[in-house]
Structure formats: structure tokens, C-alpha cells
Amino acid sequence: MQTQDSRLQQVVAIIQQANQIAANTELDTLLDQMLDLLIKVTEGESGTIYLYDENHHELIFMVVKGDVTSQRLIGKRFNAERGIAGLTVREAQPVFVHDVANDPRWDAEVGEMDNLNLRTLYSLPLILRGKVMGLVQIFNLDPERCDDPEELVVLDLICARLVTELDKTRLLAESERRRRRQEALVEIVSQLTTTLDQEELLNRIMDYACDLLNVEATSIWLRDQAKGDLALHLATGKGREHMVAQRVPEGHGFIGHVVATGETLIANDVASDPRFYRKIDDASGFTTRALLCVPLRAPRIELGGTRGSIEGRIIGGAQALNPRDGRTFDAEDIKIFESLTSQAATVIRLAQLYRDVDTLSNRIIDAITGAIDLKDPYTRGHSQRVSEFSVAIAEELGITGEELYRIRIASKLHDVGKIRVPDRILKKRAALTEAEFRQMRRHPVYGLEFLEENGLLELDLLHGTGPALAQHHERLDGRGYPYGLKGGEIPIIARIVAVADVFDAITSNRPYRPARSCDEAIAILQRVAGSELDATCVDAFIRARARGAILTQEEREGSR
């Protein structure tokens, strides 16, 4: 029989051990060590801890000791009406069972403690401020432990300590989760100002969603107006490599419902929902258990001035799939996912507008250069070919990105000044007079003036393209026009376009001579390389030709 002093010392030691365990800030570690202590104090054989999810009235199986096979249940959720565990939560009172195996309240279907010869069970609710937070179950303990008031006081003390620290740990975890989410949103907004690469931005946003929501995968689906369905635009996370070219008929599945109604929805058990579109899982091999689905709302965009605005609209939807660790989606998940997908919708809409503006700009440029070529039937397609040749040369020189884009546009516009050259000169079959030739030689200057007068060179799209327009007939030896520039005075963009222009002129038919062969043209380029044309650009041209990036007018027409 223990003396009063020894019993007091034992209780103090237990409380000290509980305090040491409470120093843990990791929830799993806290629960694991607290369960060890409770089993030790009660001299039980095994035990479990459940947490209670009040929002969904479910118990989450968190920790198990003493039965290895029951480890498979960790993270699983069960309806809080089931078994003795459910009874403990509903009544918020301890429950002692003398014969577990034969008690009708015991839910054996769960598969808990299958490998143990179950005898006794003590189920204690974890209560904080009158609310049940979870419960502890101790199996195969001595019944006298539950009849001894002193033993029960010790258990109550440990459970009170556990539930207090449990609450703190959960609050800390939630605080950290919110902090990380806020940091992610700030990071995403800052990244929106550093790149216009739509796919890079969307992948970053949805990777953040995977991380912050702690889900297996995310996806973005966009409306295809032409086909009348929803097309997978992007997938991140588990199984993304199998999510290729997937499509969902409009109005079908969770994604179709969300896009059609504009409603956000949560399905924590998709298999039991008739809206579940199984064909995507069948095709991809991915198993969807739960999802959060939100509409992608493109924001209203004010264009400024008298241009009005573009109204907001739903352009698609986004999904977060399968929360990890046995979680279910909740209101906080909706909030963060809607914030992230709002950024994604903005990125998509701006990218669409950028593509529209880029397409419009290029078509206007094509229309202008086409009109120039129409003035002179012998130069049909000349501007487009020179542009393609110039880009091929630039690529061989290692030019990329923005500079390459400007070379493409500038070389296409290199002859825009011919708009101001009279048709009688452009279409003249006989040799030009000296006066006519002087006017023809003014076309590079006319081109530059044309763009300057219309404010086009102020656009970022055409920034730095003036030399290609005004100097593509300059020569290294100073015998070119219109300015007679020499050597290093001629910028690289003008040198590139000069090589492309000369080659196309030699290999195209002219009123005064037939087209020459490609080999003859290359021989001429090599002969004047270093004296008239830039030798590095000529070499780059020859390499581009060798890889098939350059075809003459005759070769193009012959391949049709």
C-alpha cells in the first residue's frame, strides 16, 4: 500500500512529465506522447486519441498505441454517431466498458484493435470551455483504476493539460497556416508585376494552392466557346502528367455546375454525389475523393479614356482535389482558394487581352506590308520573307526574347516608306532616271518619317526599330544610302535586315532581270561579306539556310 507521501510524489512526477510533454508545439508529437503517458498511468494495454470536427460532426483518428494494424486508420474520419467513441462525444461524459467485445455499443466494423483480445475500455472526452475537442480511449486497463477517485483525478489532470495544450497547438498551427497563406498571396501579387508569362504565373499560383490547402492536386478548366465545352488548361500536383487534353461537356460534372451557376461548392465525398463526372478519373488514373470547386471570374477591366470597359465574366473554373491527412474542406479553404484563383483569373484574362492586342497589331502590320507589296507585283511577299530571314539570322546570333520580337516587326516594316514612292516609279519596267532613283533611295527615310509622324515609334512594340527602317541599305564601306554610314556606325538590327533584304532581292524576279539561284545569291553574299555586308551576319544566314530556316520565293511556291 502506497503511503500518502509516495502517492503525492508520484502524482507530482506525472504532472511534471505532462508539463514536459506540453512543451511540444507539434500536434502529432504532443498527442503521441500524451497517449503514452495515459497508458502508463492507467497500466492499460493500448489506446487511441480522436479529435472532434464539430463542423462535420466527425471523429478523426489521430493516434494509436498497442496495435500495429490499427495504424492504417490514422487520418480516417468517422461519423460521430458511431460506437462508444461517438457516445462519449455526444454525452460529454467518461464511459467505462467492462466487456468491450460483447458490448453492443462497440463498433467492430471500424476495424480498431482487431488484433487485441479486448476486455475493458475507458473512454474519456477532452473538454475545453464546455466544448468537446476529442476523446481518449484506453483498452484493457484494470477496472479498479476507474473506481479509484485518486486515479480518476490524475487522469482528469492529464486530460485537462492535454486539451489545453491541444487547443494552443491547434491555434498555433492555424496561425502559422494563415501567416503562410498571407505571405503566399503577397508573393503572388508581387510576382504578377515581374512577368507576363501566363503559364509560369498560373503554375506558381496553383502550386501555392496545393501547398497552402495541403491537397494532392489542383486544376484549371477554361471555357472553349467554339466547342461549347470545358478544356483542361493546367494541372498541378499528383498525376498531372496524366491529365492531358481532358475535356468536360459544358454543364457536366462539378466543374460544369460551378461554371454554369457561378457557385462555389465543396464535395467531401464525390463518389456519392450524382454530379461526379467519372470519365476524367477513368482517363487519367487519378482517384478523386473530395474536391473544392470555384468559378474563375475575370474581373471588369477599365480600358481608360473613351474606350470604355470590358465586363467581368466567368471564364472557367478551378478545382482543389483530395485534402491530405484526413482533412475535409472548410470555409477557410474556400476563402484562400477563391483569393488564389481570383489572381489566376486576372492573369488569364490579361494574357487573353495581350494575345488579342498582339494579334491585332501583327495583322495591322501584315496589312500595311501587304499593301506595300501590292504596289509592286514583283515584290509580292518580300516583306514577310525578309522578316523570316532576319529572325533566322538573329537566332543564329543568339538573339532572343524582346530583341528578337522587335527584329521580327522591324524587318517586316523595313520597306514601309515605299508607300510614299509613286507607283510610276515602283512599277516602272525600264531603268530608272537619276531623279527617280534618288526618290527611290529616299524610301528608308520615308518609312521612318511615316512611323514618327503617326507616333508609332513611341510604342514599346517598335522601340529601337528605327535603324532597321532607315539604315537597311547602308553598307560597311560607306557606299550605301540614305546616310552613307560606315562600319560600326550601322547598328546590328540594320546589318541583319540588310543581309536578308539583299538575298531576297537576288532570288526574286525583278522587271529588269529574272531571279537568280540560291547558290548564286549565297556566292554574292560571301563575296561582299566584310566590305558591304556584315560577315558575321552572312555566316549566320548561311547556317540558318543549312538548317532549313530559309527558303527562296521559288522554293516556297514550288512546295505548294
Domain coordinates in residue numbering, the chain: 4-174, 192-300+310-346, 376-558
What residues contact residue 321 under an 8 Å CB cut-off, 6+ apart?
215, 216, 217, 218, 219, 237, 286, 288, 289, 290, 291
pLDDT for residue 542? 95
DSSP secondary structure string for all residues of 356-376: HHHHHHHHHHHHHHHHHHHHS
Instruction: Extract the C-alpha cell encoding 268.
Output: 467531401
User: Do residues 201 and 347 touch, judged by C-beta distance below 8 A?
Assistant: yes
Q: Nearest Cα to 28, choosing from 407, 331, 402, 325?
A: 325
Give the fold, CATH level 3, of 192-300+310-346: Beta-Lactamase (3.30.450)
For the chain, counts of helices (H) and of strands (E): 18, 14
Which triple of cell numbers denotes residue 557?
511556291
CATH homologous superfamily of 4-174 equals: GAF domain (3.30.450.40)
Question: Quick one: CA torsion of 358, 364, 369, 372, rounded to 10 degrees?
Answer: -170
Q: Hey, what's the cell of 307? A: 474606350
pLDDT confidence of residue 1: 44
For residue 257, what are the contacts with CB-CB under 8 A and spacing of at least 6? Answer: 251, 263, 265, 275, 293
Multiple choice CATH, 376-558, 3.30.70.3270, 1.10.167.10, 1.10.10.10, 1.10.3210.10: 1.10.3210.10
192-300+310-346 with 376-558: one CATH topology?
no
Cα distance between residue 415 and residue 396, in whole Å: 24
Q: What is the mean pLDDT of each run of 10 residues along the chain (560 residues)?
A: 59 68 73 85 89 85 87 86 92 90 87 84 88 90 74 75 77 75 69 65 81 87 85 78 78 91 90 88 85 86 53 84 82 86 80 75 79 69 90 94 88 87 81 86 88 77 78 93 92 94 87 82 94 95 93 71
Radius of gyration of the chain (CA): 38
What pLDDT, on a 0 to 100 scale, did the predictor assign at position 326? 67
230 bridge partner residues: 223, 248
- pLDDT value of residue 362: 78
Among 272, 307, 305, which residue's Cα sits nearest to residue 291?
272
C-beta separation of 348 from 202 below 8 A: yes
Return the H-helix or E-strand segment holding 79: strand 77-79
| Assessment of whether the complete model's pTM goes beyond 0.85 | no
